[in-house]
Structure 1
């Protein structure tokens, strides 16, 4: 059976669902990249004989405009990532870096460069990793690989300006130097990865330096002109400016094992041209049939993460076959747990952990403590569509555990006794329906705390089935009472 929402709950739910509409950064490849012109991809390009490092260092870019931003950097989840600043040629630049595991060991690290044209960082690493478009890079740190997300010149109030894949290459090298200086990082096992614009930056960095143990670049372009030229900040009348930002001319400079991956429905024409042009045995190219620019990320970054974990020798020993990538693309979508943070809610006398990206809102009425927990985003996934309401009912309310239990049973809920932090409780599972007929799965936990009642009312749309159960279980398991 389904119990009706009260007007108060419905109002809160509606308000909650209408919360912040900003979504995690989703970088869309532009049409001129997806449909590369045949000019420049049908003919094998002439690779430069001069090293890219020499050419890059000798060249001075001319910026046609000075673009930058001063976007705020959200505080990272404590104990998971640290907000740091690394030295670069233009000054100190911000980055998120995995926190010290505290085990006295040295660990591998990957520097992950996200796509898009912005040079900043925000909370995207902790947003829900959509299986068909996971740009978060979270597969690495979820698997235990330390991760660094650097911002670049001109982003987040950093010194300098956007240089459209030129000075950013220097910044990547500077990020490596910072990572190598960390006492808990194995300086011989620092990797580089990126997607889309970030993938092209990673390939250029692999052409510039051999410091990275291996490089993994998704969705690269061979020439800068196949990117969104409305974002170009350099002098577009100078052909050398284009060449300094186009990986196709510098393939012979790659010294580290470099793996280039793209879906057949993405920038595959660019990747095939790189494959046709390259005679460098350090460059490995993979086109994934039936995949696009984004769908390769979730399953294949997980493959790469495991390759890094297994790459423990003195020298890099990573090999990837087309067959294992194709097999990984057929794997079942995973629903990972979000990063959780512990909080104390003094009015409830309670410690509780909930997703880092969730907001805690006081919705108390008539002196009864009540709080809503909900995501700051509203994407269609279990992290963002779940809602949790916490209530404290004092003895004056007239409620006790038995009354609540009988009420829920009469509403058709499946009831079982439980304990929360060694306190007696009840867990009830059923459904709720609001006035427009929308059905929510409802997991309801009630705890008797001395003569008060504490309730945990967890709601998610019926379409998600039981997928959110592990999340609610983790929240409930984290609860402890302070008084």
Structure 2
């Protein structure tokens, strides 16, 4: 399994944590800039912000994780979708095998943890598939030998939106019942993507970090952009644009992930202040063990939203 990097244990950027190691309290490390406890709340709409802001990458290269070959699991097939300017990036994804019929099925776009996709991530999709969802798990630019440059939570959002459009157009998929979920780094991307488009019926970010200032303080080696520009951090921070969420959102993280408590509470508070449908819960477990329970709970949430 290509495993997620731990948010709580310091590792080199190319380390692969076998089996998603349990939580350990991470001491603060030096970063590119100070970490605000409460990042600024920006009233501008995130989707519109993305139309005018273009990240300035000082270093261009692949995503910072080792990866496995993209041979699809037995119950999935490999497909490709287009992203980037004018569709110049062809990126791989896995989609669950299904027989299209006249009765359209709901679908889940699931964003894997870490910066590389592996078969172990796909095994977690079984509850969605068994519940009747078509599931698509995309790579994003720079992962698993794919084209494009890693940017860390910004250009990758464009790939998520492109993958969502592709999934919505697959035969047998009900484009009006397209749900978004993600874990860890994928959870952060899910938050940002739910603010960048109204394509999704509901979103469930799991163990995502809504505060990119804190994330990059712990992983400064992942900064490829101009870190002298504070706005580069803001556009990667869901907390700054919490009032831009465009669908019902359910934030979840493990009870043994205390570093996410404050961000989740603030995200919920800011979104609710704008009258947006959001809830946040802690699920028993750590970064690894809470995930199956969170996926199970997400299915109930998706059903309640589409009822």
TM over 0.5: yes
Does residue 250 (structure 1) correspond to residue 241 (structure 2)? The answer is yes
Superposition deviation, residue 60 in structure 1: 1.4
Counterpart for residue 229 of structure 1: 220
Unaligned runs of 5+ in 1: 1-22, 128-135, 319-483
Shift of 1:58: 0.7
Q: CA deviation at 1:290?
A: 5.3
Distance 1:150 1:77 in 2: 14
Provide the residue aligned with 1:280 in structure 2: 274
Q: Which of the pair is proportionally richer in helix?
A: 2
Give the TM-score normalised by the residue count of structure 1: 0.53
Q: Which residue of 1 aligns with 2:108?
A: 110
Q: CA shift at 1:317, angstroms? A: 4.3
Structure with higher RCO (Cα < 8 A, 6+ apart)? 2
Residue 300 in 1 paired to residue 294 in 2? Answer: yes
Q: 1:40 aligns with which of 33, 36, 42?
A: 36
Q: For the structure 1 residues 126 and 113, does the alpha-carbon distance in structure 2 shift closer, same or farther, using more than 3 Å as the test?
A: closer
1:73 is matched with: 69
Q: Does 1:194 align with 2:182?
A: yes
Q: Which moved more, 1:225-234 or 1:30-39?
A: 30-39
Alignment partners' CA distance in 1, 2:274 and 2:139: 30
Closer/same/farther in 2, CA of residues 265 and 280 from structure 1, 3 Å limit = farther
Matched, 1:123 2:114: no
TM-score (norm 2): 0.81
> Does 2:214 match 1:214?
no
Query: Post-superposition shift, 1:77?
Result: 3.6
Structure 1 residues 290, 259: CA separation in 2 closer, same or farther (over 3 Å shift)? closer
- Aligned position for 1:337: none
Higher strand share: 1
Cα-Cα RMSD:
2.6
The 1:96–1:55 alpha-carbon spacing in structure 2 relative to 1, beyond 3 Å, is same
The answer for the alignment partner of 1:172 in structure 2 is 160
Seen in structure 2, the aligned counterparts of structure 1 residues 289 and 213 have a Cα distance that, compared at 3 Å, is closer
TM-superposition CA deviations, 1:335-392 (whole Å, max 9, x none):
xxxxxxxxxxxxxxxxxxxxxxxxxxxxxxxxxxxxxxxxxxxxxxxxxxxxxxxxxx
- Structure 2: how far apart are the matches of 1:217 and 1:241? 22
- C-alpha contact (below 8 Å) 1:220/1:270 kept by paired residues: no
Contact 1:264 1:288 in 2 (8 A): yes
Paired residues, number: 278
Point out where structure 2 has 5 or more consecutive residues left out of the alignment: 11-23, 29-33
